[in-house]
């Protein structure tokens, strides 16, 4: 295998209550990337379409991951990378994670698949360092594993795959503004009241239970974020109105996707998801703010060959 094309899905991190610990992959939104073996034992990023990203492989998440893996494996070849971004960096939908995880998956395939999914997450986390300054695992883990994931521990890294109900749908509105992950993280206080922390832990447990049992009422009741949303929502225009309209349209719950500005809502079934989209549209259509809306099932496959 000397030339492959892959799809790396967009991801939603935090999932309201699971700050830095939970994420899931989308099914039909993501980037495409092409990887070719080269005789030169180095990494070259020859094409980037859809976004202004660095071509320097030492500054690009995909390039950093590829270089680390080639060095670690003592590969006798290099890699040429083409990146086709299908959603905007700074969207809150794991753009850098898609690049990093996609690179880890593809280079592993070119190497003959010597690394496990857990290994690939560790490599991809270094791409996140290059992109946003933190070795965060949630988005890249969801991108590689697919479906829902829980980052149970960082030291040692322990990732748990979580099932999801077949009728669970997600609607996402993406205002076309950019919020940098580094900036969004600074908004959250480092210290939390014990009462807040306890409530957040309980909601995480409830959400995981609801996903395992396909209990939509428990999922809905658990989609409460007391840690990040109260501070981050200020940077998302009309967030409170969006939340009210989505719930009134039948959403199980709504939350900020990662750092924002994208906002996601869960629904039970396709028809309900369409009604939620109408609710989202009703808030944003007259604001003068450009936006995109996506509907998706949960992406249970993660990164995959095309």
Q: In this structure, are residues 266 and 249 in contact, taking their beta carbons and an 8 Å threshold?
A: no
Verify whether residue 181 is a known catalytic residue.
Answer: yes
Pairwise CA distance, residues 176 & 199, whole Å? 32
Distances (CA, A) of 105 to 13, 33, 100, 296: 20, 11, 9, 23
Q: In this structure, are residues 159 and 141 in contact, taking their beta carbons and an 8 Å threshold?
A: yes
Q: What's the residue count for the chain? A: 306
Verify whether residue 128 is a known catalytic residue.
Answer: yes
**Structural Rg of the chain based on CA atoms:** 19
Cα torsion for 237, 276, 294, 26, to the nearest 10°? 110
Out of 32, 49, 71, 128, which one is annotated catalytic?
A: 128
Pairwise CA distance, residues 221 & 43, whole Å? 47
Out of 11, 181, 218, 229, which one is annotated catalytic?
A: 181
Pairwise CA distance, residues 93 & 115, whole Å? 26
Pairwise CA distance, residues 44 & 130, whole Å? 16
Pairwise CA distance, residues 15 & 225, whole Å? 9
Distances (CA, A) of 12 to 25, 98, 185, 186, 285: 6, 11, 16, 19, 24
How many CA atoms, within 13 angstroms, populate the side-chain half-sphere of residue 54? 13
The residues assigned a catalytic role are 128, 181
């Amino acid at each position: 295998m000397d030339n492959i094309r892959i799809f790396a899905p967009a991801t939603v991190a935090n999932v309201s209550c699971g700050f830095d610990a939970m994420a899931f992959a989308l099914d039909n939104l993501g980037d495409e990337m092409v990887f070719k073996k080269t005789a030169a034992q180095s990494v070259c990023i020859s094409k980037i379409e859809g976004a202004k990203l660095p071509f320097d492989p030492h500054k690009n998440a995909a390039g950093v991951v590829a270089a680390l893996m080639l060095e670690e494996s003592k590969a006798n070849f290099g890699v040429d990378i083409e990146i086709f971004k299908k959603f905007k960096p700074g969207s809150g939908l794991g753009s850098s994670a898609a690049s990093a995880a996609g690179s880890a998956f593809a280079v592993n395939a070119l190497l003959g698949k010597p690394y496990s999914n857990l290994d690939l997450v560790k490599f991809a986390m270094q791409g996140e360092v290059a992109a946003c300054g933190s070795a965060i695992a949630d988005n890249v883990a969801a991108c590689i594993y697919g479906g829902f994931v829980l980052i149970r521990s960082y030291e040692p890294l322990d990732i748990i795959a979580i099932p999801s109900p077949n009728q669970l749908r997600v609607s996402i509105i993406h205002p076309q503004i950019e919020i940098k992950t580094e900036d969004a993280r600074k908004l959250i206080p480092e210290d939390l009241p014990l009462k807040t922390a306890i409530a957040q832990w309980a909601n995480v447990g409830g959400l995981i239970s609801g996903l395992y049992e396909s209990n939509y009422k428990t999922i809905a009741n658990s989609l409460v974020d007391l840690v990040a949303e109260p501070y981050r929502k200020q940077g998302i225009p009309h967030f409170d109105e969006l939340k009210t309209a989505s719930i009134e349209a039948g959403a199980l719950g709504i939350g900020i996707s990662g750092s924002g500005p994208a906002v996601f809502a869960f629904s039970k079934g396709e028809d309900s998801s369409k009604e939620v989209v109408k609710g989202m549209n009703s808030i944003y259509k007259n604001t003068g703010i450009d936006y995109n809306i996506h509907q998706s099932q949960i992406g249970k496959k993660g990164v995959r060959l095309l």
